[in-house]
Structure 1
């Protein structure tokens, strides 16, 4: 029987069994010995755990091999498991001095193909369509006096950025193109501002991001499609790290 089972506020069920037989450990070790391990979510926590382990080993050289600091909790999932999901983390910008939505849209049109979407539902359908381009959703408050925007005064667009041939898999992710071509290229934000989350916010909650724009606490929202598991594998296999806030893993 399981040791314990809980359900989170988000509706996820977590069940834990305790394995104590050495035979099981050896069998699992044999199965995983030839496998490659990708840290898809939480690499900062993993690196911190390694640093903490090294620190504790120096301070406690007499500690046994089974000391708690020699271990870290992980969820291991086969990358080909259909239940493995990667969720997108959306972006919004705020407090940009002199932000002009019309001028911003004109800059985007020089970098890719911009398409007006009728409403929120049309935008969500469009960003879920399979396309070869880097498709990013955009929403901002309607600047026109007529207030002709949909959904609480918001206007919606998709921005299709053309793919570029490269041997660098991380540079051609949707999120990388958003940062490089739009947030830095069109809006002029620096890489430091993105890393420090100045003028930029991040959220997995699409509705909350759009609500921020509708309420005026954000100036524009950028909606992303989730990266494919194969994207994460390609980036890690190239010895790179996924961009900031781009991999939120869940199991279905």
Structure 2
């Protein structure tokens, strides 16, 4: 069982606008004021110096916090997404992904943690807590509106902890094995939460010859050509729509080729994966798009060994489809495979089966920013 606990937070003085001037780590926004901390040789020691110098102030009482993120219209429309900022103890459930990302600081970079919330109980409790919580900070981060509230010790906070004591929860990053970790728990029932896929790019694969590959993969998938080039905004949008349309009752991936060309591989029904050496033993994992890509395409057709391993020299995780297309077009990659967003029910099934996803399977949007508050390393 996971142990979600209040914690003594370290709070910094923030302006009304937080800006990011560099790349995000694993998609976690890094506002300008927190980057020196996260880029220090020892972030926790640096945070301790901030505390001693008075740059951050300690909340004298342990508490839980709710951060609400409302994206701009047209991007994340609808209600805000609420994350519970809390302390997650090392005896919590193992990370959802194999070989998870290790934060630079477990005290400053919140570890996104998914919570099964089949009946919306946690979502309702976070909304209630936010309605009555005390305002800590409100402002803008990039183009999103962010509100941070403190949940005073109360019946609501106890109910939140009681729900999380029983709910399956899984972090998307590694936890500190010795001390509590700053976590951002989000219910899977949040309507504004988006689960985004992490695509795959190929580089230096000698067995990848386009014509031969298409001939061999036809034994496992039907191949659909795309009329619009992926290098145009319209072509990219059409490819996403086509990929999402073809999955009804099937699984599909988008093959990204040079010169903006794209083809959709729609896997045939009734494929027996159990006999394949590289297929997951767990039947729940065998139903994932990424598992089919790894076992059928990368392992069986192309002969790539262990393509799901983190840090693979020939298979690279890519966050954005546009970035994947640009990388193939520039010659950085030979080809790429884009995936559909993983459905919530599929992730929920993996959690219920106590299974582990391949490395870098998914990410969530929006991401709670680092630096709204810190977990005191001396607590």
Smaller-chain TM-score bracket: 0.7 to 0.9
Change (3 A) 1:194 1:31: closer
- Distance, in Å, in 1 between the alignment partners of 2:141 and 2:361 is 23
Q: What displacement does 1:26 show? A: 2.4
Deviation at 1:12, TM superposition (A): 3.7
> Given the alignment of the two structures, is residue 52 of structure 1 paired with residue 158 of structure 2, yes or no?
no
Deviations 1:210-238 (A, max 9, x none): 01111111111111001111111101111
Displacement, 1:6?
A: 4.8
175 and 192 in structure 1: CA distance in 2 versus 1, 3 angstrom threshold: closer
Are 2:136 and 1:16 equivalent residues in the alignment? no
Give per-residue Cα distances to partners, 1:62-109, cap 9 Å, x unaligned: xxxxxxxxx333333332232221001111101222531111111111
The reply to whether residue 240 of structure 1 matches residue 355 of structure 2 is yes
Moved more, 240-249 or 171-180: 240-249
Query: Counterparts of 1:41-190 in structure 2 under 5 Å?
Result: 41-42=171-172, 44-45=173-174, 48-49=175-176, 51-53=177-179, 71-97=180-206, 99-119=208-228, 120=230, 121=235, 122-129=238-245, 130-141=247-258, 153-163=259-269, 164=271, 168-190=283-305
| TM-score (ref. length: structure 2) | 0.52
Compute the TM-score of the two structures, normalised by the length of structure 1. Answer: 0.77
Deviations 1:180-227 (A, max 9, x none): 111111111111674332111111211110011111111111110011
| From 144, 152, 160, the counterpart of 1:28 | 160
Q: Distance in 2 between matches of 1:205 and 1:5?
A: 29
Give the whole-Å Cα distance in 1 for the aligned partners of 2:287 and 2:332.
30
Higher strand fraction: Structure 1 or Structure 2? 2
Post-superposition Cα deviations, 1:20-74, rounded to whole Å, max 9, x if no partner, equal: 33544324334444x41321x52x42xx32x122xxxxxxxxxxxxxxxxx3333
Select 1:37's aligned residue among 162, 168, 177. Answer: 168
Structure 1 unmatched runs, 5+:
54-70, 142-152
What residue is the counterpart of 1:221 in the other structure?
336
Question: Structure 2: which 5+ residue stretches go unaligned?
Answer: 1-133, 275-281, 368-379
Structure 1 contact 236–242 (Cα < 8 Å) conserved: no
Distance 1:179 1:25 in 2: 43
**How many residues are treated as equivalent by the alignment?**
217
Which structure has the highest helix share of the two? 1
Superposed CA RMSD in Å reads 2.4
Match of 2:138 in 1: 5
